[in-house]
Structure 1
Amino acid sequence: MTTKKNIGIKGLLLSLLFPLAINAQQKATVSVLPSADSPVINKNIYGHFSEHLGRCIYGGFYVGEKSTIPNTNGVRNDIIAALKELGIPNLRWPGGCFADTYHWKDGIGPKQDRPTMVNQWWGGVTEDNSFGTHDFLDLCETLGTEPYLAANVGSGTVKEFTDWVAYVNHQGKSPMSELRKKNNRDTPWGVKIWGVGNEMWGCGGNMTPEYYANLFKQYSTFMTDWNNSDKLFRIASGANVADYHWTEVLMRDIPRNLIEGVALHSYSFVEWEKKGSSTQFDEAQYFKTMETALKMEELVTKHSEIMDKYDPAKKTALVVDEWGGWYEVEPGTNPGFLYQQNTMRDAMIAGTTLNIFNNHADRVRMANLAQTVNVLQAVILTENDKMLLTPTYHVMHMYKVHQDAKLIPVKFTSPEYKLADKSLPALSVSASEKDGKKHFSIVNIHPSQTMTVELDVKALNLKNASGRIVASGKLQDFNSFADPNKITEKEFKDFKLKNGTLTVTLPAFSVVVIEAK
């Protein structure tokens, strides 16, 4: 029989043991398997997204040429400098849902003569078209990044679409090239990456995949490469999360010579209808968010398997051109502007998602974080003349070493992060090599336990190493305008390289990148 005294002793023992359990370390062994057949991690996996949504463009990127905030042709100089340092390989514009209501000719010519429109998708605000094709493509030139134009299929025409292609790409004499020259741009920009509509299963027109596949073939047929050099990279509007039938139809019905990429959209959240606060969340909400984030592994695997059936040579890329965390907007802000803060939870989403993309580099060859400035999982936030870099920015900055590097496959069994009756892999790893350097990006998503990771790197013959880390005291920590550097990259030294084993000790909820040679 259990006495009250025994219950008291048991409770005391549990209270003493629980902190030890929280601080206990878990261990994992990672086999590093270099292979001559490994794919290159396409730099375009590290792409970004800029939609006419909330304060992404206006009040974010673009403040206007007359602004007192230092700018180049109306675009903030501090944002230009930050994105140059980040090394963004491509930038998607103008949407998103906005793309299928956007008529590009409204955004060219003298700004005072441009017509206005109502942004029906995002807040019902009036769009004055002061940031248009020239502004965006000139910005991409300044950044040294590849433009990705998402064009209007939902409410546009084939002629409108192909006129845009000619306007930005045609070198010779034609109505569209003459119009471009009239607008003070003699040489074409040579835009290669084109989205043929966006979310055609939803805001792009609520279409069936069979109907859209036929539309795509029509638009793709009339897209001419006016550069007469490299082919255009035509991306079909792809599946919403686990809609595998959508991918099946596109791959089955669209000939390989008409398509270069199939898109996929998937966001991370607590619950779709009740997304929760971006900063005030408990462990259960964190667990649910990471559960949807790590679902990306399954999505990429299953969509790739369908693509492999029709395209075993992997000529068509899987393009995850919208991904990231999605929560309720910050209190007091316009619900249609999707402005949210960015915590260590978002650093976990970024680190694990990019590791998944790296490890699937044979098929995933482009992706776009949603979005760049002031919207969803942004890398930059602004407030009047102030600007800050989010934890997601710092993770992507550490990870830029993987761009165009050769994948080094890894194999391991992850320790578990358990909560109630569910569990998630606590560890995420990817590795690559470039210019004689090897990089290992490692994420520990566990909110309370340290992770010791032993990487067997004997085959790489490494001699020395250094490290960087993104970490903080609480999962809910974020950079504010009052404290913009609360979370930054820091030097990381809690590792050792000895006898062909790289032993790394990761704090709870941290992202580490080790460089070795």
Structure 2
Amino acid sequence: MGSEIHVQQHEPIAEIDPNLYGHFAEHLGRCIYGGLWVGEDDRVPTDDGIRMDTIDLLANLEMPVLRWPGGCFADDYHWEDGIGPREERPTRRNAFWTQGRADIPEEPNEFGTEEFMRVCDLLDAEPYLAANLGSGSPGEAADWLEYCNYDGDTELANRRAENGSEEPHDVKFWGVGNENWGCGGRLSPEQYAEEFRRFATYLRSVDGLLSEQDVELVSVGHIHDDWNRKFLDALSECASFTEGPYDLMEHMSVHRYYEAGSDTDFDDEEYFRLLARSRKVGGDVDNAVDALSVYAPESDISIVVDEWGVWHPEATNTNGLEQENTVRDAISAAGVFDDLHERADVVAMANIAQTVNVLQCLVQTDEEDAWATPTYQVFDLYENHAGGTALDTVVDTDAHEVEDEPYDVPLVSASASAHGDEVYVTLSNRALDSEDVTVSLDEASASVADSAVLFADTEVDEYSRKDNADAFTPGEIDVDENGDGIFEVSVPASSVVALTVEA
């Protein structure tokens, strides 16, 4: 019977924050070393050690924000190890990950704060730093903020200038730890509340007196709702003469990974199971919002999904968490974006894991080349939503039920955003057969100005290699205009379509 999508132009949700299309880079496998940084390796063009073929690909995405240095790595990272002359920097343990594809848990610290800030400058991306709460101290975190943001005459500000950055880095986003319920210290929610108060107090002090940048703090949340509620409840016991306990943060984070079967060897039911599990991202946001509505109903704390994506069983610590990146993975990302757009009023940022070579990466590299993955193409297509107003989008479609999963899989997923006189519509056909889709808008005079399709001629288990990356780029697709703001498009199996509508 086909599927129907109705874009309700007069039912705005909220502006889609460009930071929903954010990224995450951790000192893990070949994400940093070999992906973003090659040092003096002259096999690829570099900018003082930064790998420019990777940068060129990422720059095309207009990356809004980049989270660093972790991840679990962040809670055993001491930032002063990564500044100053590189030849004088110490090699330290990497307590959680190995570098490259070798099982060597060592961190050379060649890539540190200044190198990361240079990457952000090259990408015109906002830096997002995760402070070490697990093995660090509030003073160490406050010192890092002072080093990055203070434009004055202290030892740390002067040290930054000596390291080549006379102007402050003006880092806006600061994570107060990472997964402190797990690798970041295995803290109870009550213990994390105590530590969060300490760290946030000192970071706030540096922000208020030493930084012209309005710093935004991100607390660590959990996908288990009880943890969030216990943390928020314990935080309420904070005594303060200047602000309430929930004024110590602007955002609360959640992380969600999902998988089903092998990265490339999966059957039809595993295909749908992965898509069903990807819907948990939206559910995690809803649960976090519900907890905040109980304990901080007057606050405007928003949700940051600063780690999300597919984590296949092939990605292990001994291979640097590398996995093949397929069309199936990319289609799941399109659905996650649709769910985040639907929640644009409460989600301020999302950061896929990870940027280069690791997990659901957007760019892959070898010693001499860099290329885009299918997920890269979805980001490129969807980022046209950035800064637009999310519109309520009603999808009437069949659903595939997946046994023992809390979510089924609507065969068509979609979202839309308004940009002045244009409406941008994206939709994915998750069915394994083509689907006739009708798209209707409220404005009868609407007409299609542009259209594109991803993965029309590729199988769901196809994955990116340097010799086939062009096969995943967008193609053209025909759209029939029926008048009265109604359009029909035959959407190929397992594909993603974008329509630019003048309305």
The TM-score, its normalising length taken from structure 2, stands at 0.92
CA distance in 2, matches of 1:356, 1:30: 15
User: Which sits farther off after the overlay, 408-417 or 426-435?
Assistant: 408-417
Q: Does 1:260 align with 2:250?
A: yes
Q: Which SS does the other structure have where 2:476 is aligned?
A: strand
User: Which sits farther off after the overlay, 178-187 or 258-267?
Assistant: 178-187
* CA shift for structure 1 position 454: 1.9
* CA shift for structure 1 position 233: 0.9
After TM superposition, the structure 1 = structure 2 runs for residues 323-338 of structure 1, keeping only pairs within 5 Å, are 323-329=308-314, 335-338=318-321
Identical positions, percent: 36
Cα distance change of structure 1 residues 486 and 314 upon mapping to structure 2, 3 Å threshold: farther
CA distance in 2, matches of 1:327, 1:35: 41
User: Which sits farther off after the overlay, 78-87 or 481-490?
Assistant: 481-490
CA distance in 2, matches of 1:465, 1:66: 45
8 Å CA contact 1:328–1:338 kept in 2: the answer is no
1:160 counterpart residue number: 140
8 Å CA contact 1:406–1:433 kept in 2: the answer is yes
Aligned letter for 1:180? R
Q: 1:362 aligns with which of 345, 352, 377?
A: 345
Cα distance change of structure 1 residues 439 and 382 upon mapping to structure 2, 3 Å threshold: same
1:195 counterpart residue number: 175
Q: 1:48 aligns with which of 23, 39, 47?
A: 23
Q: How many residues are paired up?
A: 482
Q: In the TM superposition, what whole-angstrom CA distance separates every residue of 1:172-193 from its partner, at most 9, and x where no partner exists?
A: 1112101212222211110010
2:228 counterpart residue number: 247
Q: In the TM superposition, what whole-angstrom CA distance separates every residue of 1:53-90 from its partner, at most 9, and x where no partner exists?
A: 00000011101144231011211111111111101100
CA distance in 2, matches of 1:430, 1:362: 14
After TM superposition, the structure 1 = structure 2 runs for residues 50-449 of structure 1, keeping only pairs within 5 Å, are 50-123=25-98, 124-223=104-203, 224-225=206-207, 228-239=211-222, 241=223, 243-252=224-233, 253=235, 255-270=245-260, 276-312=261-297, 315-329=300-314, 335-418=318-401, 423-446=408-431, 448-449=432-433
User: Which sits farther off after the overlay, 226-235 or 77-86?
Assistant: 226-235
Cα distance change of structure 1 residues 311 and 420 upon mapping to structure 2, 3 Å threshold: closer
Aligned letter for 1:366? M
Q: In the TM superposition, what whole-angstrom CA distance separates every residue of 1:314-364 from its partner, at most 9, and x where no partner exists?
A: 61110000000111337xx86351011110111111100011111101101
Q: Which SS does the other structure have where 2:309 is aligned?
A: strand
1:10 counterpart residue number: none
Cα distance change of structure 1 residues 497 and 84 upon mapping to structure 2, 3 Å threshold: farther
Q: Which SS does the other structure have where 2:33 is aligned?
A: coil
CA distance in 2, matches of 1:126, 1:296: 33
8 Å CA contact 1:478–1:487 kept in 2: the answer is no
Unaligned runs of 5+ in 2: 99-103, 237-244
* CA shift for structure 1 position 420: 7.0
Cα distance change of structure 1 residues 38 and 420 upon mapping to structure 2, 3 Å threshold: closer
Aligned letter for 2:422? K
8 Å CA contact 1:452–1:504 kept in 2: the answer is yes
After TM superposition, the structure 1 = structure 2 runs for residues 472-483 of structure 1, keeping only pairs within 5 Å, are 472-483=457-468
Aligned letter for 2:453? I
8 Å CA contact 1:465–1:497 kept in 2: the answer is no
Cα distance change of structure 1 residues 295 and 409 upon mapping to structure 2, 3 Å threshold: same
8 Å CA contact 1:427–1:443 kept in 2: the answer is yes
Aligned letter for 1:247? N
Aligned letter for 2:45? P
Q: Does 1:493 align with 2:478?
A: yes
* CA shift for structure 1 position 231: 2.2
* CA shift for structure 1 position 237: 1.2
8 Å CA contact 2:390–2:416 kept in 1: the answer is yes
Q: Which SS does the other structure have where 1:400 is aligned?
A: helix
Cα distance change of structure 1 residues 497 and 343 upon mapping to structure 2, 3 Å threshold: farther
CA distance in 2, matches of 1:32, 1:308: 29
* CA shift for structure 1 position 396: 0.5
CA distance in 1, matches of 2:437, 2:212: 47
8 Å CA contact 1:67–1:74 kept in 2: the answer is no
* CA shift for structure 1 position 310: 3.5
8 Å CA contact 1:357–1:364 kept in 2: the answer is yes
C-alpha RMSD over aligned residues = 1.9
* CA shift for structure 1 position 485: 1.7
The TM-score, its normalising length taken from structure 1, stands at 0.89
Structure with max Cα Rg: 1
CA distance in 2, matches of 1:419, 1:178: 59
CA distance in 2, matches of 1:367, 1:420: 29
User: Which sits farther off after the overlay, 183-192 or 482-491?
Assistant: 482-491
